[in-house]
Amino acid sequence: MGITGLLPELKKSTEPINIEDMTGTVVAIDASCWLHSGLIGCAKEVFLGRPVDSYIRYFMGRIEILLRNGVTPLVVFDGRNPLPAKAELTAKRKQDRQKARTFARFALMEKNTTRFDRNCQDGLEVKPEMVDNVIKALKDRGVDYLMAPYEADPQLAFMSMSGAADYVITEDSDLLVYGAKKVIYKWDGHDGQLILHHHLYRSYPDFPQFTFEKFQHMCIISGCDYLGSIESIGLKRAATFVKSVGDGDIFKTRLTKHLKTRAVTQTPQHPTTTT
pLDDT value of residue 207: 86
Q: How far apart are CA 214 and CA 156, in angstroms?
A: 22
pLDDT value of residue 243: 81
- The angle, 0 to 180 degrees and rounded to 10, between the axes of the packed helices 54-68 and 128-141 is 30
pLDDT value of residue 274: 42
User: What does the H/E/C string look like for 117-137?
Assistant: HHHHHHCCCCCHHHHHHHHHH
pTM: 0.86
| Domains of the chain in sequence order | 6-200 (3.40.50.1010), 204-259 (1.10.150.20)
Contact, 110 vs 40, CB < 8 A? no
Residues of the chain with pLDDT under 70: 1, 225-232, 246-275
pLDDT value of residue 261: 53
Query: Residues 36-62: pLDDT tens digits?
Result: 999 999 999 999 999 999 999 999 999
Q: Do strands 26-30 and 14-18 pair parallel, antiparallel, or not at all (unpaired)?
A: unpaired
